[in-house]
Amino acid sequence: MLDTPGDVPATRETPAARAKGGLLVVGSFVALLFAIELVNMVTLHALNGVFGLRPRSADGVLDIFTFPLLHANLNHVLSNALPLVIFGFLVFMSGLRVFLTAVACSWLGSGAAVWLIGNGGVTVGASGLVFGLFAFLLVRGFFNRNWWQILLSVVLFMAYGSILFGLIPSVAGYVSWQAHLGGAAGGVFAAVVLKARGAARRR
Q: Tell whether domain 16-202 is in CATH 3.90.1150.10.
A: no
> Can you give the pLDDT at residue 4?
42
Q: How confident is the model over 121-174, as pLDDT tens digits?
A: 899 999 999 999 999 999 999 999 999 999 999 999 999 999 998 888 877 667
Q: How many CB atoms lie within 10 A of CB 137?
A: 24
- pLDDT of residue 79 exceeding 80, the answer is yes
Grade residue 196 by pLDDT with cuts at 50, 70 and 90. confident
Grade residue 200 by pLDDT with cuts at 50, 70 and 90. low
Q: How confident is the model over 2-41, as pLDDT tens digits?
A: 444 444 444 578 989 999 999 999 999 999 999 999 999 9
What are the residue ranges spanned by the domains of the chain?
A: 16-202
* SS3 per residue for the chain: CCCCHHHCCCCCCCHHHHHHHHHHHHHHHHHHHHHHHHHHHHCCCHHHHHHCECCCCCCHHHHCCCHHHCCCCHHHHHHHHHHHHHHHHHHHCCCHHHHHHHHHHHHHHHHHHHHHHCCCCCECCCHHHHHHHHHHHHHHHHHHCCHHHHHHHHHHHHHHHHHHHHHCHHHHCCCCHHHHHHHHHHHHHHHHHHHHHHHHHHC
> Can you give the pLDDT at residue 60?
84
Determine if the pTM surpasses 0.85.
yes
Average pLDDT score over the chain: 90
